[in-house]
Amino acid sequence: MKTAAELFWPRVDTGWTDECWEWTGPTLPNGYGQFGSGKNKGLSILAHKASYMMLVGDPGELVLDHTCRNKVCVNPGHLDPVTQVENIRREREANRKTRKHANQYGIHRIGE
């Protein structure tokens, strides 16, 4: 029987240590990678959390913020353990910066 690592890493497109390591396996509707399936009695975990747990350790009650803002990235160097409140604050800040940058170049969402 294969280990979790033997099942996980073939589904990762790794690059240099500072680059995003993109999950190529299944993704959830929200864009995050999913590791696991019904084959293991319905147990699954977010792919980035699986990577972090294998290479760094269990973040406990903290959530993992993608500092690169790439939902399929599983590079633990791009994952910062933070509280849920801080994760939401960072996401909102990143969204504000994206909108500000887009507006500088005349890029708007349809309906704006």
The pLDDT-based confidence of 103 (bands split at 50, 70, 90) is low
DSSP 6-74: HHHGGGEE--STTS--EE-S-B-TTS-BEE--GGGTT--EEHHHHHHHHHT---TT-EEEETT--TTB-
pLDDT at 9 over 70: yes
pLDDT of residue 1: 82
CA distance 71 to 51: 13
Q: Which of the residue ranges 2-16, 47-61, 94-108 would you say has the lowest mean pLDDT?
A: 94-108
pLDDT in tens, 12-52: 999 898 999 999 999 999 999 999 865 655 678 999 999 99
CA distance 2 to 7: 7
> What are the residues whose beta carbons fall under 8 Å from the beta carbon of 25, sequence distance 6 or more?
11, 33, 34, 35, 47
pLDDT of residue 112: 47
